[in-house]
Structure 1
Amino acid sequence: MKFIETHAHLCDKAFDNDREEIIGKSFSLGIEKIIEISCSAKDWQSALDLHDKYENKIFPVFGIYPGYIDELNTENLARLQDNLKKDFCAGIGEIGLDYYWDNSKKKEQFKILDSMIDLSNELKKICVFHARNGKDEKNDSAYADLAFKLKNDWSFDNKKRSRGILHCFSGNWEDAKAGLNLGLLIGINGTFTYTKNHELRDVVKKAGLENIVLETDCPYLAPQSIRGKRNDPSQVPLIARVMSEYLNFKIEYIAEITSENANELFTNI
Structure 2
Amino acid sequence: MLIDSHCHLDRLKAAPTQVELTQLLSDAKARGVDYMLCVNVRQKGFQSMLDKVAGFEQVFLSSGVHPLDVKEGLDVDELRTFAAHPRVVAIGETGLDYFYADDSRELQQQCFADQIALAREVNKPLIVHTRDAREDTIALLTQGGADQVGGVLHCFTETWEMAKASMDLGFYISVSGIVTFKNAAELRNVIRKVPKDRLLVETDSPYLAPVPHRGQENQPAYVRDVAEFVAQLRGEKYEDLAAYTSENFFTLFKDAARLIGR
Give secondary structure in 1 for the equivalent of 2:95.
strand
Gaps spanning 5+ residues in structure 1: where?
A: 134-141
Contact 1:64 1:71 in 2 (8 A): no
Counterpart for residue 66 of structure 2: 65
State the AA in 1 paired with 2:36: I
For residues 155 and 94 of structure 1, what CA distance do their matches in structure 2 show? 14
State the AA in 1 paired with 2:62: V
The counterpart of 2:134, out of the listed 133, 143, 150, is 143
Alpha-carbon spacing, 1:32–1:13, altered in 2? closer, same or farther (3 Å): closer
Corresponding pairs, count: 253
Identity among equivalent positions (%) equals: 30
For residues 174 and 157 of structure 1, what CA distance do their matches in structure 2 show? 21
The counterpart of 1:221, out of the listed 208, 214, 220, is 208
- Equivalent residue runs for 1:1-269 within 5 Å: 2-14=1-13, 15-16=15-16, 18-55=20-57, 57-73=58-74, 76-133=75-132, 142-155=133-146, 157-158=148-149, 163-269=150-256
State the AA in 1 paired with 2:41: C
Residues 193-228 of structure 1, C-alpha deviations (whole Å, 9 max, x = no match): 112211111111111222110100000001021212
After TM superposition, the runs of 4+ consecutive aligned structure 1 residues lying more than 3 A away are: none
1:102 CA drift (Å): 2.3
Contact 1:120 1:156 in 2 (8 A): no
For residues 119 and 226 of structure 1, what CA distance do their matches in structure 2 show? 37
Give secondary structure in 2 for the equivalent of 1:90.
strand
The TM-score, its normalising length taken from structure 1, stands at 0.90
1:156 CA drift (Å): 5.6
Contact 2:177 2:210 in 1 (8 A): yes
The TM-score, its normalising length taken from structure 2, stands at 0.92
Give secondary structure in 1 for the equivalent of 2:68.
coil
State the AA in 2 paired with 1:245: Q
Supply the RMSD in Å over aligned alpha carbons.
1.5
1:69 CA drift (Å): 2.2
Contact 2:203 2:223 in 1 (8 A): yes
Alpha-carbon spacing, 1:33–1:244, altered in 2? closer, same or farther (3 Å): same
For residues 234 and 12 of structure 2, what CA distance do their matches in structure 1 show? 35
Contact 1:186 1:211 in 2 (8 A): yes
Gaps spanning 5+ residues in structure 2: where?
A: 257-262
Contact 2:211 2:225 in 1 (8 A): no
Give secondary structure in 2 for the equivalent of 1:169.
coil
Alpha-carbon spacing, 1:94–1:107, altered in 2? closer, same or farther (3 Å): same
State the AA in 1 paired with 2:204: D
State the AA in 2 paired with 1:146: T
Contact 1:7 1:36 in 2 (8 A): yes
Contact 1:125 1:156 in 2 (8 A): no
State the AA in 2 paired with 1:147: I
